Structure 1
Amino acid sequence: MFTFRKKSIETDSSNSKDILCDNNLSLLAHNEKCIVDKINNKISETNFVVENLISTINTISEYVEVQLGSIDKVVNEINTYSALAEEVSSSIESSKKLYTQTLQVSEDGSEAVNESIKAMRDIEGSVNYSKSVVNNLNNKAADINNMLDVIKDIADNTNLLALNASIEAARAGEAGRGFSVVATEVKNLAERSMESVSYISSTIQEINESIRNTILAMDKTMERVKRGSDIANNTLKVFKNITESVNTSNTVAEEIVTAVSMQTKSLENVIYSTDDMNNTSGKLMFVIEVASLNTQYAKTSLFSLSQVSEDLKIITNDFLKMLDLQNKEDIVLKTCLKVVPKTYDPALSFDFEIGNILSNLHAELLTIGNSGEISPGIAKNWYVEDDNRTWIFNLRKGAKFHNGKEVTAEDVKYCFERLLSPDLNSPNNWILEDIEGAVEFKNKRASSVSGIKVINKYCVSIKLSNPYSGFLLNLGQYFCAIMDRDELEKGNIVGCGAFTLEKKGEDYCTLAAFKDFFNGAPYIDKLEIKFNSQTSSQKLIDKEYDFMVIDNKEDMEKIKSVDYLTTSTSVIMGTYYIGFNLESNSIFASNKEVRKALNLAINKKRIVDELLGGMGEEARGPIPPGILDNSYLPLTAYNPQLAKELLRKNNADGKSINILYRDDSESLLFNKITTYIVENLNSVGISCNLVRVPPSEYLKPESIKKCDLCVSRWIADSGDADNFLQPIFNHANVANLSRYKNLEVIKKLEEAKKLINPNKKRTMYEEVQNMIIDDMPWISLYHPKTGVGYRKDVLGLRLNPVGLFSYDNIIAEKI
């Protein structure tokens, strides 16, 4: 309920004093003052934006002028190229005639080679025939040799007989003298026969030698004929290849002629299009001039509005002085969170709910608005230089820390380097890794971050390693808060947000409005926050709280039934999931099919319908649809029978599983989800052991190591997919509870963040999501819808897309 701490006031019975004591009038006057201050600040912010817009329009104008010059050059180049294309076409026509002549020569050559091959074959036949004749002659000579051997034998025997006859004639004396003469003649005849045989044999040997030489010569002739035949065949192949090449070249030439002709027509179309582009650019230049003129009008109007606002502020202050708001009661609202902060240091916190406190205690260079857009924060304006990597941020002069010190560029540099420091070991340091030199600094290879430079007291330059469109959204996260560097060196946390941390205890904290907040003082003076894991809806109904976040069906239905309360809901970019401990030794870590079986065993629809009362939608994958449209993915149907079959197939049926459990009230949403999960797993034969730890210990690595499953959630800091995926699926980050490690996923994430084309970027993130789904480090349960219940006389309770409130926009309408 609203509580008011009364200032001491003097008792007065006059009507004017009665009016001054009217709390509702004082409240109304206070709200009016805050609204006027905020309007004045927003007008100043709008002026910053308009100045940025004017600068951007001027830059666009310069680029359009450059583009017009480039278009003229392109037209000239195209005209030159068109003339060249016509020359190429003419040259190709001449080449076609040459191809025809070459083709005729090739065909004539082929015919001549064919005739040569035929002649070679005739010669080969003739030589083979001659060789056979010579071989026959050789055989005849051999036969003669055989006959000579016979004659020689006869001559030898005749000589022997003549000798014997001479001997016998000698014995016969005078009577054998005539016979002796005959014997002598026979002997002489035999000797002459031997001489003739020897001469004939010598002659035959010479003939045989000539025959052998003739055969050798014929063999060599055959080899040469064969070689000539082979050469002729190869020559024929060459001519055939030439013919084919000429035909191919002719075909290609015809295609080139056709292509050049089409290209010439296309060039003509390009010229027409370029002319249109030139005309359009001229019109665009005119539009830019009009826009520039209108923006100047807007600036003039804003200046006038600013003057009116200043006048309104003076009149309002005079009016409030008349009301003497010194006697105004403090406006104190009460609410609750279901978790206890482990730290109030934004660089070390990564719990989503505690972000509601830290985002209001601290301010960043940029602010993420209620619709997720970037707005001025400590930086009043910013721009990127021509390299698309270097961002220049101009700070507001006069922005103060809670201790009254002015915020400077040195504080920005110090806080960013502190967030990246290996000594601090922040779980959120990944968010600034895109700054040039950040990784070297994190790994102690550099003493400072080279990409962060202080230009002057109110200007800081941040250079990225690569262009990254999501970087500005990262700077709007509460863990990039800017704090007083002098106090940080002493171990104190002093921010510059809309509220200060006035008190803190084990189960509560109190936020007090920072009256010098650069965006204007909050409407309420104090906000008391209870850390309560018990059901809180009844306390809202009993007016112990003025508003509260709703995350379950029962609370939503109870609050809706109360006439002085109301509710609103918003879709949140986040995912509730069951994470597997992939570093455990269990079958649930090592076997993907077993993890798939558990996915089929979980009835997600029952969780959404029965437990949440529709305050969520079944998850198709890990990335929320607000970041990446995942309607292309199928829903994983609840199928316990198939789950049992997969468990049995992989020898996992009947296994026991350890589930991390927050040792707190059973009514805590996470514990209710865990109860549903236990029921589903028991129904497919998996026995569940609850490993109980205090809620404050649940997300610590040593707790995760005790289990096979944990139930958690991840809420997006912004609408950037890389910002959502890197902390929970990059093994280097502590928020990756499953300890999932896939180098290909990291590689694709790095590629995607450098892409400029949104379609290619979306396709790459779809690929990443598909890879993660296939590996199944999670069972994605649902994407939440967050509600808020509040008193009807409390205004300004608007959740941004990541489920955080700006408490400085809450207005108490009346007592």
Structure 2
Amino acid sequence: MKRVACKGHRKVRFALIKTRWPFTHCERSPWMASLILWVGRPLRTFTLMLFLGLSVAISACNQQDGVEKPRGAPLEKPVEPSAGGTYRRPLGNDPATLDPARITDSYAVAVVNQIFDSLVEFDERLNILPSLAQSWSASRDGLVWTFNLRQGVKFHNGREMIADDVVYSLARLLAPTVKSPRSWFLDKVKGALAFQEGTATTLEGIKAVERYTVQIILSEPFAPFTSVLGLPHLGIVPREEIERLGEGFSTAPVGTGPFRFVRWERGQEIVLKANEHYFRKRPSLDFIRFVIFPGNVVDDMFAALDRKELEESPIPASRRKQILDSGKFTVIRKPTLGIRLFGFNLDLPPFDQPEVRQAFNYAIDTTELNQEIRDRRHEVARGILPPGMPGYNPEVKAYSYNPEKAKALLAQAGHPEGKNLAPVTLGSSVKSAVSYQDYEGIRQYMARVGVHVELKEFDDWPTFRSALQQGKLQIFRYAWFADYPDPDNFLYPLFYSKSQTNYFRYRNPLVDRLLDDARRELDDLRRVKLYREAEQLILNDAPGIMLMHHTYEGLFQPYVDGVTVSALGEWYIPMWKIHLKPIPRAGTQR
């Protein structure tokens, strides 16, 4: 980090940080990767945080992380990246929208990340790097931020991107007409509430100072602010295209990214074409074709990969060992900042009773589910925050398998042996073999304590999401993957009482206060303490069953090269870096 003295008040200029850690075999921890010293903090705080970061990194090394090349392939000499070709990538469902300000699902993130750019971005180690902003500075109190934009960046319609576009795009996330489900990303911007409520026609805290300079003023410090600016939800859009297309922009997006939108046939495919004028360089690929598999049917994805109709695929759990032993494909593994869970709707009986929610947690053996269904591929969740996430607490008090305690809690709630308890419904939009095994496992465990669980399937993600938003599901199968490496991105959107993605309908004023305090706290150690306290309170209230922390494991054709996966998962793979190697003819070697 480079400090620069400026007139008026002292500022910090953030430059690219290249950190070389001694644990080069395990470059895993986003805490380690994105550790930044805030000016004015005592050096001892930084030293303590460095120690904590290294501790997290060492513990994370226990998980597999790396690349396995196909076995039996001839040794290859380095080759220059070849231009051209179509990359066919599976997508487990249709996105709800491709409008950055409105996206809520990972399917949209995977596509939108290729069409749009944000002010900053994350590298493979989750360092924050320049993107559309080539440099930025902050006042010592963390309230005034100035971003200097790259010049000459063009939208896909040919117009240059300037500061006014940044102001429009960020303000749009807060606009009352847009009703973005991610408006809370910018709720610390000065004047955000008045703008959202319509009492102000402009957003006071975001201004175009010059043609290529944007100033953002916060109402109070917000620790993960620069991380938030790297999210695809804050992708920069051209105002004239949104005004021209209206709601149609969600299905015909225009950005500055490495690929431009071509077409979207729902239930079939989304096609993108290389941006010839991308500010970094033209992508090696000519096209990306997202092939849609409604219901996220992994077996069908792998079958298409095996027929050479896709360039990548997840691994079907039921055939995992056989596929890995074959050595036919390149395998990439990466522990990610994600969690899979079963959520309870606390507004619907019987989950308005804490004893029932706790009973479900004690009745289900999550370790056994991971071992039998997923071949120990993932990390069994003790709490909410995943390993490698700042604030992760390996000592959190979690639930263990105890069916007798589950029965006692049900009796305490007035349901001895499940009496007077109507069948409960589990909703899911995923139709893979693993999801059915999950359901069958839950059904059997709950039957042992006298509770009957029924499955309700949804045909696609948008329909399922609508049911979640309307609060129609008693139990829902759900996954959450970090958008940025900060505990705020887990606990706040999932469990803050006013969050639009709090599908649990969870409300705890003390948790709200702790999360609010943590967002404005700039001392890392105090932030960790606040988040850990909030996490324990949430777990005690049992708004869901925390199953496991996701490890990404993907199969790729041997000729695919340049794939980089961060702890944010496969949705954030920068496709512009990928190229397709020439396939050698039979009997030849490189």
TM-score band (shorter)? 0.7 to 0.9
Q: Which residue of 2 aligns with 1:432?
A: 186
Deviation at 1:57, TM superposition (A): 5.4
Q: 2:152 aligns with which of 398, 412, 421?
A: 398
1:347 is paired with a residue whose SS is: helix
Give the letter for the 1:489 counterpart: E
Q: Corresponding residue for 2:486? A: 720
Query: Does 2:301 align with 1:516?
Result: no
Question: Is the 8 Å Cα contact of residues 670 and 712 (structure 1) preserved in structure 2?
Answer: no
Supply the distance in 2 between the matched residues of 1:605 and 1:579 (Cα, whole angstroms): 18
CA deviation map 1:168-222 (0-9, x unaligned): xxxxxxxxxxxxxxxxxxxxxxxxxxxxxxxxxxxxxxxxxxxxxxxxxxxxxxx
Asked whether the 8 Å contact 2:83–2:284 carries over to 1, the reply is no
CA change 1:575–1:402 in 2 (3 A) is same
Which secondary structure state, in structure 2, belongs to the residue aligned with residue 699 of structure 1?
Answer: helix
1:326-362 superposed Cα distances (whole Å, 9 cap, x missing partner): xx98411212011111211121111123311111111
Residue among 258, 264, 279 paired with 1:498: 258
Q: Secondary structure at the match of 1:354?
A: helix
Counterparts of 1:734-749 in structure 2, within 5 Å, are 734-749=500-515
Q: Tell me whether 1:363 sits opposite 2:117 in the alignment.
A: yes
Q: Mapping of 1:481-492 within 5 angstroms?
A: 481-490=235-244, 491=246, 492=249
Q: Which runs of 5+ in 2 are unaligned?
A: 12-42, 44-79, 584-590
Tell me: CA distance 1:475–1:531, structure 2 relative to 1, closer, same or farther (3 Å): same
1:664 Cα deviation from its structure 2 partner: 6.1
Matched with 1:639 is: 402
| Structure 1 residue 544: Cα displacement | 1.3
User: Is the Cα contact below 8 Å between 1:752 and 1:764 reproduced in 2?
Assistant: yes
User: Which of 426, 443, 457 is matched with 1:678 structurally?
Assistant: 443
1:549 and 1:452 map into 2 onto residues whose CA distance is 41
The letter for the 1-side match of 2:507 is K
TM-score normalised to structure 2 length: 0.80
Amino acid at match of 2:466: K
Distance 1:612 1:478, change over 3 A: same
What is the DSSP-based 3-state SS (H/G/I as helix, E as strand, rest coil) of the residue aligned with 1:595? helix
704 and 576 in structure 1: CA distance in 2 versus 1, 3 angstrom threshold? farther
Q: CA contact under 8 A between 2:114 and 2:574: conserved in structure 1? A: yes
Query: Using the alignment, how far apart are the partners of 1:716 and 1:664 within structure 2?
Result: 20
Where does residue 151 of structure 1 map in the other structure? none
Q: Which residue of 2 aligns with 1:807?
A: 575
8 A Cα contact 2:254 2:261, kept in partner: no
Asked if structure 1 preserves the Cα contact closer than 8 Å seen for 2:427 and 2:475, the reply is no
- Which amino acid in the other structure matches residue 534 of structure 2? V
Report the number of matched residues. 497
SS of 2:100 mapped into structure 1: coil
Q: CA distance change for structure 1 residues 771 and 499 in 2, over 3 Å: closer, same or farther?
A: same
Q: Secondary structure at the match of 2:85?
A: strand
Specify whether residues 441 and 814 from structure 1 end up closer, same or farther in structure 2 by C-alpha distance, changes over 3 A only. same
Name the amino acid aligned to 1:712: Y
Higher relative contact order (CA 8 A, sep 6+): 2
User: Which of 562, 573, 579 in structure 1 is aligned with 2:337?
Assistant: 573
Q: Residue in 1 aligned with 2:309?
A: 544
Identity %: 28
Instruction: Work out the CA distance in 2 between the residues paired with 1:704 and 1:688.
Output: 21
More helix by share: 1
Q: Which residue, 669, 690, 694 being the options, matches 2:455?
A: 690
Deviation readout 1:461-514 (Å, 9 max, x if unpaired): 001111222000001000001011111112233111111111210121112111
Cα deviation code 1:725-763 (max 9, x no counterpart): 211112222211111111221111111122222111111
3-state secondary structure, aligned to 2:313: strand
Partner of 2:229: 475
Q: What is aligned with 2:362?
A: 600
Contact 1:537 1:555 (C-alpha < 8 Å) held by counterparts: no
One-letter amino acid of the counterpart of residue 645, structure 1: A
Q: Structure 2: how far apart are the matches of 1:498 and 1:747?
A: 41
* Change beyond 3 A, Cα 1:360–1:558: farther
State the distance in 1 between where 2:429 and 2:287 align: 32
**2:439·2:455 contact (CA, 8 Å) conserved in 1?**
no
1:416 lines up with 2:184 in the alignment: no
User: Partner of 1:694: helix, strand, or coil?
Assistant: coil
Any idea what SS the aligned residue of 1:579 has? strand
Instruction: State the Cα distance separating 1:671 from its structure 2 match.
Output: 4.1
The change in CA–CA distance for 1:663 and 1:779 in structure 2 (over 3 A counts) is closer
1:491-540 superposed Cα distances (whole Å, 9 cap, x missing partner): 23311111111121012111211121112111111111111133121221
Q: Give the aligned residue type for 2:273.
A: A
Which position in structure 2 is the counterpart of 1:753? 519
Distance 1:430 1:753 in 2: 12
Partner of 2:219 in structure 1? 465
Q: How far 1:692 moved relative to its partner?
A: 3.3
Runs of 4+ in 1 over 6 A off after TM superposition: none
Structure 2 residue aligned with 1:790, among 556, 573, 577?
A: 556
Tell me the residue number matched to 1:530.
291
Is contact 2:491-2:535 (8 Å) kept?
no
CA distance in 2, matches of 1:692, 1:436: 43
TM-score, length of structure 1 as denominator length: 0.58
**Does the CA-based 8 Å contact 2:174-2:186 persist in structure 1?**
yes
Distance 1:663 1:723 in 2: 23
Q: Which has the larger radius of gyration?
A: 1
Residues 435-483 of structure 1 show CA distances to partners (whole Å, capped at 9, x for unaligned) of 1111221112211111101101111000111122200000100000101
For residues 702 and 728 of structure 1, the distance between their equivalents in structure 2, rounded to whole angstroms, comes to 13
Q: Answer whether contact 2:497 2:512 (CA < 8 A) is retained.
A: no
The residue type paired with residue 496 of structure 1 is T
| Gap change, CA 1:57 and 1:412, over 3 Å in 2 | closer
Matched, 1:733 2:502: no
- Cα displacement (A) at 1:675: 2.7
> 1: distance between equivalents of 2:265 and 2:362?
44
Query: What is the distance in 2 between the residues matched to 1:573 and 1:559?
Result: 25
Distance 1:657 1:606, change over 3 A: same
In the other structure, the counterpart of 2:375 is: 613
C-alpha distance in structure 2 between counterparts of 1:664 and 1:625, whole Å: 25
Amino acid at match of 2:242: L
Moved more, 360-369 or 473-482: 360-369
In 2, Cα distance between equivalents of 1:558 and 1:544: 20
* Distance apart, 1:670 and its partner CA: 3.8
Superposition deviation, residue 386 in structure 1:
3.8
Q: Is the 8 A contact 2:468 2:503 kept in 1?
A: no
Alpha-carbon deviation of 1:616?
1.2
What is the rounded CA distance, in whole Å, between the counterparts of 1:633 and 1:657 in structure 2? 32
Given that residues 577 and 782 in structure 1 are in contact (C-alpha distance below 8 angstroms), is that contact kept between their aligned partners in structure 2? Answer: yes
Q: Is the 8 A contact 1:455 1:461 kept in 2?
A: yes
Equivalent residue in structure 2 for 1:708, among 474, 483, 503: 474
Secondary structure at the counterpart of residue 545 of structure 2 = strand
CA distance in 1, matches of 2:144, 2:436: 47
Q: Tell me the amino acid that sits aligned with residue 615 of structure 1.
A: R
- Greater Cα shift, 567-576 or 703-712: 703-712
Q: Is the CA contact 1:718–1:724 (under 8 Å) kept in the aligned structure 2?
A: no
Which secondary structure does the structure 2 equivalent of 1:401 belong to?
coil
What secondary structure is seen at the aligned counterpart in 1 of 2:102? coil
Equivalent pair of 2:496/2:515 in contact (CA under 8 Å): no
Give the strand-richer structure, 1 or 2: 2
Q: RMSD value over aligned CA atoms?
A: 2.4
Quote the offset at 1:434 in angstroms: 1.2
Aligned residue in 2 for 1:446: 200
Residues 613-646 of structure 1: per-residue CA shift (max 9 Å, x gap):
2221111111222222221114421111221222
- What is the CA–CA distance in structure 2 between the aligned matches of 1:738 and 1:386, rounded to whole Å? 38
